[in-house]
Amino acid sequence: MTNLKKILANIVLILFFLVTKNALKAQDVQFSQLFADKMYLNPAFAGSEYCPNLMLSHRNQWPTIQFPFLTYSVAYDQYSELMHGGIGFRLMKDDQGGGVFSKLNADLIYSNKINLSPNMSLKLALEASVYQQNTNSSGLIFSDMIDPLLGVVYPNSEVINNQAIFTPDFSSALLFSYKNYSIGFIASHIPQSLVAEHNDILPLKFTSHISAAIPIFQGDLKKTTFILEPNIVYIQQLNATQLYYGMYFDINNIAIGMFYRQNLKFHFDALIASFHFSIKQLKIGYSYDVTLSSFYKQTLGSHEISFTYLFNCDKKIKNYKTISCPSF
């Protein structure tokens, strides 16, 4: 019975991707902790902390299915005196179907900050990326390989192109901040014709976000600090829309967040609960997506964990101000 379930799961997986390939094309990975890896949300955040900043994250989406969606990410950024702006580097790997479908991308980011006034600034960013998409069909089971009595006994006669696809990619972004408020706009995967499959792998995506860090009570080192951080993020890619909104509640070194994710037709995708805490320069975050659709029993939501470390450094630019935005 177990082998039969595995065979059926493989068949369903194959049919799903073959049928939806042309209809849905590809969509970007979406994280629940949007501000943990700020450069994935908006490349203009590169160098926003001035000192070197290292981030690691892992997302396990739908862990109870046979082949969950697994995503790994590492990012580094800092302000560069030589470049007169922020520089950043990201590396991300996404696995689907137990490695049948995988995507690896590397991003190089540069951002430049323009001080409009003592409390107002504008950051512009460019991102150049390289993507590799792979298909590994060696472990798949097709219907013509199955004997009704003996099981999987026949060789595979299907012809599948397993050749990896490489494509360059470009994105641009801006980030406007005023005191404790910020708003950003991003155009990702700007179309170009260097690789024919580019728009199928990376369709154009638009993102906008607005956030605030509102101090309710600002204490000193020995008193409690209480800050509210409301956030709204809107993402559109092809015909898919996503609205992500909620709030973090910061109490000293602890942050608790609650967010909803839905589309514009008010089909609620998930309720996201987040918990984060800081130990000196290290920030650790965990979030759990509660699936709000009827698929909850089959998927049991999603888990995401992040680690962010801000290194010490001497600020040579005395008037350089960091941007007030959520830490997670």
In a domain, 304, yes or no: yes
Q: Report how far residue 231's alpha carbon sits from residue 250's, in angstroms, rounded to the nearest whole number.
A: 13
Structural domain for 239, as ranges: 2-310
CATH of the domain at 171: 2.40.160.40
**Predicted structure pTM score:** 0.83
pLDDT digits (tens, 9 = 90+) for 141-189: 666 667 677 666 556 666 666 677 889 999 999 999 998 899 999 999 9
User: Does residue 327 fall inside a structural domain?
Assistant: no
- Cβ(31)–Cβ(101) below 8 Å: no
210 pLDDT band (50/70/90 cuts)?
very high
Q: Looking at the 3D structure of the chain, how many domains does it have?
A: 1
49: in domain: yes
For residue 321, being part of any structural domain is answered with: no
Q: What is the mean pLDDT of residues 49-62?
A: 92
Q: Which amino acid is located at 244 in the chain?
A: Y
Contact yes or no for 141/152 (Cβ under 8 A): yes
Domain assignment of residue 185, yes or no: yes
**pLDDT band at residue 324 using 50, 70 and 90 as cut-offs:** low
pLDDT digits 0-9 by tens, 2-39: 455 454 444 444 444 444 444 345 678 889 998 888 99
Tokens of 100: 């049948």
Average pLDDT for the chain: 83
pLDDT, tens only, 86-137: 999 999 999 876 667 889 999 999 999 999 998 899 999 999 999 988 876 6
Task: Give the three-state DSSP class for 263.
Answer: coil
Of residues 297 and 124, the one with the higher pLDDT is 124
Q: Are 8 and 92 in contact (CB under 8 A)?
A: no
Say if 318 falls within a structural domain.
Answer: no
Residue 323 lies in a domain: no
Residue 320 or 270, more confident: 270
- pLDDT greater at residue 204 or residue 98: 204
Report the pLDDT value the prediction gives residue 306, as an integer from 0 to 100: 96
> Does the structure show a pLDDT above 70 at 1?
no
* Rounded Cα gap, residues 237 and 241, in angstroms: 7
Range picked from 48-52, 85-89, 219-223, 261-265 for highest mean pLDDT = 85-89
What is the pLDDT, as a whole number, of residue 22?
42
328 confidence band (pLDDT: 50, 70, 90): low
Does residue 82 carry a pLDDT above 50? Answer: yes
108 inside domain:
yes
Distance in angstroms (rounded) separating the CA atoms of residues 171 and 191? 9
Q: DSSP readout, 147-158?
A: ETTTEE-SPP--
167 within 8 A of 201, measured Cβ to Cβ: yes
